[in-house]
Amino acid sequence: MAIVNVTPDSFSDGGRYIDVESAVKHGLSCVKDGASILDIGGESTRPGAAVVTAVQEQDRILPVIERLARETDALISVDTYRAETARLAIAAGAHIVNDVYGLRHDPQMAHVVSESGAGLCIMYTARGRDDLRDDIIDDELMFFGQSLDIAEAAGIADDAVVLDPGFGFVEKREQDSELMARCGELHSLGFPLLVGTSRKRFVGAIAERDAAIERDFATAATTAMLRLSGASVFRVHNVAGNLDALRMADAVLEAGRVIERAGKDG
């Protein structure tokens, strides 16, 4: 899943793809590099980012979605927590709704997803909550359980849902590393995992890289590790580099399967 931020202030590439032509060109370039999903967003979710209106968000992303829907066969995801934006984006050609508040912000979001038949990414977040549990996995399981109840009540099919553990949206920075180590525990919920570590602050802090664009090597390392933990979808800025990391991880996983089969046959 390639990130296409149509924003002036995203932490990594804000302002680079703010107009329709540059955003579409970037999206098509990501597809050429191997992306199968394009995630289009019109509002930065970094801490301290300016809040935009729904109209501003829609003005930024809808023309981009319309163009990309015509010019590529890649799946298109809309990164929004607003139900009306999601509805309009789906009408413009989006296939997936990526909600960073996990259906918690807009009570109409689940109904929009259900009625349209779109795919849904439910992301975990600790932001703005007063019911946090001390253990990060316990908190994620509680959060996802509640969000999945909302999805089920709205009639969203299980096979339309992926879960995002919300790297960078945890309460404490050290929880990102713990989440890396324990991400596999979330498979108990029975849904595919979509992960987004790309160029995030905790990656930069560990790798000692201040500039976001310098965090691609460290990001690729997280991608390989999370693939070995069973993650399925990877939301990234640098498609080619992370595909290399995934090929390496998948080769290791296949070697493990070969060894396991040989042991059973022997």
Q: Which residues are catalytic?
A: 200, 235
Buried residues in 50-76 as b, exposed as e (16+ CB within 10 A): eebebeebbebbbbbbbbbbeebebeb
Closest CA to 204 of 237, 229, 228: 237
| Cα–Cα dist 205/172, whole Å | 13
Cβ–Cβ < 8 Å for 234, 223: yes
CA dihedral 44, 48, 50, 53 (to 10 degrees): 70
| Cα–Cα dist 190/262, whole Å | 28
